[in-house]
C-alpha cells in the first residue's frame, strides 16, 4: 500500500514562499520506499551540492529530509536523516528523545537525488530487516527541515502535534504501514 503526503509548515514558521513538499511512502514486505518532491521556487532554499555520501551528524542544521519510524506499541523509534548532498544518518532512541545512538545496523544508506531548476526529488529504498521484523506494523512521521538562502529555518511535517516544532512526538507518527 502506498500513501501520498504533503508536508505542512509548523504554524509559527513559514516555508519559503512558493515552495511545497509532496511525496509518497510505501512498505512492500520489509522494503520501505519513500520519495520526497520539493517543488516551486527552490532557488530560495539552501540546498547543499552533491558530495561523496558519508554518515554525518547534525544534518538537520541545514535542509534535511527526515522520517521517523517506530514499531507499533513500542516506545523506541528510529530517526532517518537524508541530506540533498547525499549524506545520511540513522539514530535509534529508546523512548521520547532518550538513549539516542547511531543505528549501527546500517553502514551505508544510498538514495537518489534529482535536482532540476524547479524541483528536487529524493528517493530512498531501504530494507528494514535489520531493525524491524517484516510482520511488525510500523508508525511513521515524515518531516523536513528547510533552510532558506536568507538563513530562516522552517519545520515541515505531515502532522504537528506539539506546541513547538518537535518531530519526535509519537503522536505525530500518523502513517501506519
For the cut 80, the answer to whether the pLDDT of residue 1 exceeds it is no
What are the residues whose beta carbons fall under 8 Å from the beta carbon of 151, sequence distance 6 or more?
none
- What is Dmax (Cα atoms) for the chain? 45
Rg (CA), the chain: 15
The pLDDT tens digits for 22-78 are 999 999 999 999 999 999 999 999 999 999 999 999 999 999 999 999 999 999 999
The pTM for the full model equals 0.96
Q: Parse the chain into domains and list their residue ranges.
A: 2-176
Query: How does residue 132 score in pLDDT terms, banded at 50, 70 and 90?
Result: very high
For the cut 80, the answer to whether the pLDDT of residue 14 exceeds it is no
Q: Which long-range contacts (CB under 8 A, 24 or more apart) does 159-167 make?
A: 159/8, 160/8, 160/10, 160/11, 164/10, 165/10, 165/13, 167/66, 167/68, 167/79, 167/141, 167/143
CATH of domain 2-176: 2.60.40.1190
For the cut 90, the answer to whether the pLDDT of residue 12 exceeds it is no
Rounded Cα–Cα distance for residues 63 and 43 (Å): 13
The pLDDT tens digits for 159-171 are 999 999 999 999 9
Q: In this predicted structure, which of 6-15, 16-25, 60-69, 140-149 has the lowest mean pLDDT?
A: 6-15
Kindly state the cell numbers that stand for 172.
Answer: 505525530
The pLDDT tens digits for 72-113 are 999 999 999 999 999 999 999 999 999 999 999 999 999 999
Q: What is the pLDDT of residue 78?
A: 98
Amino acid at each position: 500500500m502506498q500513501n501520498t503526503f504533503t508536508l505542512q509548515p509548523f504554524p509559527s514558521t513559514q516555508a519559503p514562499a512558493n515552495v511545497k513538499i509532496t511525496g509518497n511512502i510505501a512498505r512492500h514486505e520489509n522494503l520501505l520506499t519513500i520519495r520526497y518532491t520539493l517543488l516551486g521556487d527552490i532557488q530560495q532554499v539552501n540546498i547543499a551540492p552533491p558530495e561523496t555520501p558519508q554518515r554525518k551528524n547534525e544534518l538537520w542544521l541545514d535542509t534535511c529530509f527526515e522520517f521517523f519510524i517506530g514499531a507499533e506499541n513500542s516506545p523506541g523509534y528510529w530517526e532517518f536523516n537524508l541530506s540533498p548532498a547525499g549524506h545520511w544518518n540513522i539514530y535509534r532512541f529508546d523512548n521520547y528523545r532518550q538513549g539516542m545512538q547511531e543505528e549501527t545496523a546500517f553502514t551505508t544508506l544510498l538514495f537518489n537525488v534529482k535536482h532540476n531548476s524547479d524541483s528536487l526529488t529524493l528517493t530512498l529504498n531501504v530494507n528494514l530487516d535489520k531493525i524491524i521484523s517484516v510482520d511488525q506494523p510500523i508508525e511513521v512521521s515524515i518531516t523536513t527541515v528547510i533552510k532558506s538562502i536568507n538563513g530562516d529555518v522552517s519545520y515541515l511535517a505531515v502532522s504537528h502535534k506539539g506546541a513547538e516544532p518537535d518531530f519526535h512526538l509519537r503522536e505525530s507518527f500518523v502513517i501506519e504501514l
